[in-house]
């Protein structure tokens, strides 16, 4: 019988600047050197099972590995007096942990990293430091660039994720450390504010101005910094792993989810390595399941007792096989270049590349008689483009009463009830949502790959937002969200358009779905999804200090022959 796994708690890992990190080490007590699996975590090393996509250390030891799980600098048992910053410093610290693990007497010098969400960030950041012991990484549900794949999207601030994640996942430990250091009286205001925000997150989401979050004062300075630096700001360049990805020879197993907050970041990292064409381009693999941010199962309204997606995958076993190949010269894992779960057909598909080369961009044009407001209107989708004049559609966007977020790729309070393919029918009853539906299908339409919409928009606001959603409408009328996107239209774009419309491309990221016979393809167009994204106040600079600053805008969508607005889907031929 194998002896019990040896677990060493709170092992010291000294960093070059004198800070000491703490790690839990799991290993076989028998003599010998073994490859090491390392997770650098912001989520408490003692609670490794709390984040989906991680590996049971004892199972890994049974497969011939040692496992090191490290609390990040400034988190839980590790040292560091400064408040934890989700991106900064993780690369140098993670690289130091890799080299520490490689040098231990029970290590053979080969290290692989793994972890989900923010635990994926140190993996990308470590590549920037190129520690010699790092041989492969397996980042789940994460991004290597943060202004486009994490904090901002389409120019809009991902309010729901950024704020709730900071409040619920980061602030409690940060505040506890601050109280232990300074005393409860010093942080009494922040303690009360955090308790109120966790109790009533809706009030926290609606608070203006956005940077004014007392619950994060002194414990999460990153939040205000993020808001102060829009996409493209040099602030983000110093955090970028773009050059490291382009030059890496480290094999990467990317794990993503259709309903994951960072799907765009996952796919962008995969594409960056692929485009670079370096030694890692052919070695990388991509898995996309129908997963949300934290779950191995698919949440949402489509997951009732009558329908259970067969999404089971031994993802832990796949990771161990991957590490066995790249750390211990084991056999190639049974994994194609790309494996995706296709909803509707409810099956896994193996592809040779992403996006699938066989996918063909197909336009579904917005049509109608000028009253596409709500699902009860006359908005249509057609593969036939408009041939002449056609009435436009218009709606009032009032940020005081924004279109609510209903499921999708979100991380909001109670994620099991608020993420995944939720029914959009109630949202589509609103007059400030334009709804365009295709005819019931007579043949299945398979869509795998990137999705976007091209819209021709006029606005009475000096700057504003436009949103788009792809929806699968079932024969009984249930309308399940597949993917969505937003595009922030700047004051410069509005001014440049003058009296003419603005041509706007909205990136809906990607999906994998078969629209079955009897189903309809649907596009929703509006100007918000709150609290997933911050409300655009319809002001020139996109900011508001109080609710009194919020303005109403009239949004007009043109879809005539001169302005052929369309949904563009990557349609794959039937197999």
The domain that holds 269 is classified in CATH as: 3.40.50.1820
CA distance 507 to 562: 22
At residue 416 the predicted structure's pLDDT band, cuts being 50, 70 and 90, is confident
Last residue of a domain, one of 195, 229, 263: 229
Q: Which of 49-58, 295-304, 380-389 is modeled with the greatest confidence?
A: 380-389
Which pLDDT score is estimated for 157?
97
Is 495 in the same domain as 470? yes
Question: Which is it for the CA torsion 164, 167, 172, 178, positive or negative?
Answer: positive
Percent of the chain with pLDDT over 90: 82
Cis bond before residue 344 (omega within 30° of 0): no
Is 436 in the same domain as 374? yes
Which pLDDT score is estimated for 418?
84
pLDDT score of 307 more than 50 = no
- What is the average pLDDT across 125-146? 94
User: Helix, strand, coil: what percent of the chain each, to 5?
Assistant: 25, 30, 45
Which pLDDT score is estimated for 187?
84
Which pLDDT score is estimated for 270?
96
Which is it for strands 445-459 and 502-515: parallel, antiparallel or unpaired?
Answer: antiparallel
What is the domain extent for residue 335? 6-146+247-351
Is 334 in the same domain as 364? no
At residue 294 the predicted structure's pLDDT band, cuts being 50, 70 and 90, is low
CA distance 162 to 411: 9
Is 257 in the same domain as 217? no
Alpha-carbon torsion angle 7, 11, 16, 18, nearest 10: 160
pLDDT tens digits, residue range 68-94? 999 999 999 999 988 888 988 789 999
Is 267 in the same domain as 220? no
Is 122 in the same domain as 160? no
Has residue 208 been placed in a domain? yes
Has residue 236 been placed in a domain? no
| Domain CATH number, residue 442 | 2.60.120.260
At residue 428 the predicted structure's pLDDT band, cuts being 50, 70 and 90, is very high
Determine contact, residues 255/296, Cβ cutoff 8 Å: no
Has residue 235 been placed in a domain? no
Instruction: Please give the residue that has the higher pLDDT: either 442 or 184.
Output: 442
Has residue 176 been placed in a domain? yes
User: What does the mean pLDDT of the chain come to?
Assistant: 92
Distances (CA, A) of 77 to 9, 52, 89, 133: 10, 22, 17, 25
Number of domains observed in the structure of the chain? 3
Is 206 in the same domain as 319? no
């Amino acid at each position: 019988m194998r002896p019990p796994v040896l677990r060493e708690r709170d092992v010291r890992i000294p960093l070059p600047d004198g800070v000491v990190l703490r790690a839990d080490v799991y290993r076989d007590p028998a003599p010998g050197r073994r490859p090491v699996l390392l997770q650098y975590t912001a989520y408490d090393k003692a609670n490794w099972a709390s984040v989906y996509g991680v590996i049971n250390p004892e199972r890994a030891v049974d497969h011939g590995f040692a496992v090191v799980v490290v609390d990040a600098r400034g988190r839980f048992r590790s040292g560091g007096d400064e408040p934890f910053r989700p991106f900064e410093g993780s690369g140098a610290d993670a690289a130091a942990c890799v080299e520490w693990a490689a040098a231990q007497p029970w290590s053979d010098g080969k290290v692989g990293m793994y972890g989900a969400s923010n635990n994926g960030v140190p993996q990308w950041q470590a590549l920037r430091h190129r520690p010699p012991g790092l041989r492969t990484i397996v980042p789940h549900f994460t991004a290597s660039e943060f202004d486009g794949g994490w904090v901002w999207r389409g120019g809009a601030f991902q309010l729901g994720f950024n704020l709730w994640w900071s409040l619920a996942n980061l602030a409690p430990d940060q505040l506890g450390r601050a109280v232990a250091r300074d005393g409860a009286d010093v942080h009494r205001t922040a303690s009360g504010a955090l308790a109120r925000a966790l109790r009533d997150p809706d009030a926290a989401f609606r608070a203006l101005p956005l940077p004014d979050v007392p619950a994060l004062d002194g414990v999460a300075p990153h939040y205000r910094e993020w808001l102060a630096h829009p996409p493209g700001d040099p602030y983000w360049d110093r955090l970028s792993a773009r050059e490291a990805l382009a030059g890496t020879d480290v094999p990467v197993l990317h794990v993503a989810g259709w309903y994951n907050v960072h799907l765009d970041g996952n796919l962008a990292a995969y594409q960056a390595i692929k485009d670079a064409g370096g030694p890692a381009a052919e070695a990388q693999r991509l898995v996309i399941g129908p997963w949300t941010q934290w779950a191995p199962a698919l949440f949402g309204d489509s997951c009732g007792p009558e329908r259970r997606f067969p999404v089971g995958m031994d993802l832990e076993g796949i990771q161990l096989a991957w590490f066995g190949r790249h750390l211990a010269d084991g056999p190639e894992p049974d994994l194609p270049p790309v494996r995706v779960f296709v909803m509707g057909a409810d099956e896994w598909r193996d592809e040779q590349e992403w996006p699938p080369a066989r996918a063909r961009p197909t336009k579904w044009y917005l049509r109608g008689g000028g009253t596409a407001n709500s699902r009860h209107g006359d908005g249509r989708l057609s593969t036939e483009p408009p041939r002449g004049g056609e009435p436009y559609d218009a709606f009032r966007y009032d940020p005081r009463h924004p279109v609510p977020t209903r499921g999708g790729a979100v991380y909001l309070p109670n994620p099991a009830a608020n993420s995944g393919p939720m029914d959009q029918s109630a949202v589509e009853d609103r007059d400030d949502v334009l709804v365009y539906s295709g005819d019931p299908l007579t043949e299945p339409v398979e869509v795998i790959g990137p999705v976007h919409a091209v819209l021709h928009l006029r606005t009475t606001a000096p700057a504003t937002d436009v949103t788009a959603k792809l929806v699968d409408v079932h024969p009984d009328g249930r309308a399940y969200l597949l993917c969505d996107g937003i595009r922030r239209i700047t004051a410069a774009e509005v001014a440049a358009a003058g009296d003419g419309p603005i041509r706007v491309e909205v990136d809906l990221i990607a999906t994998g779905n078969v629209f079955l016979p009897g189903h309809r393809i649907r596009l929703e167009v509006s100007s918000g999804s709150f609290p997933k994204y911050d409300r655009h106040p319809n002001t020139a600079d996109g900011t508001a200090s109080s609710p009194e600053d919020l303005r109403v805008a009239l949004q007009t969508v043109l879809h005539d022959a001169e302005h052929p607005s369309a949904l563009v889907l990557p349609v794959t031929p039937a197999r």
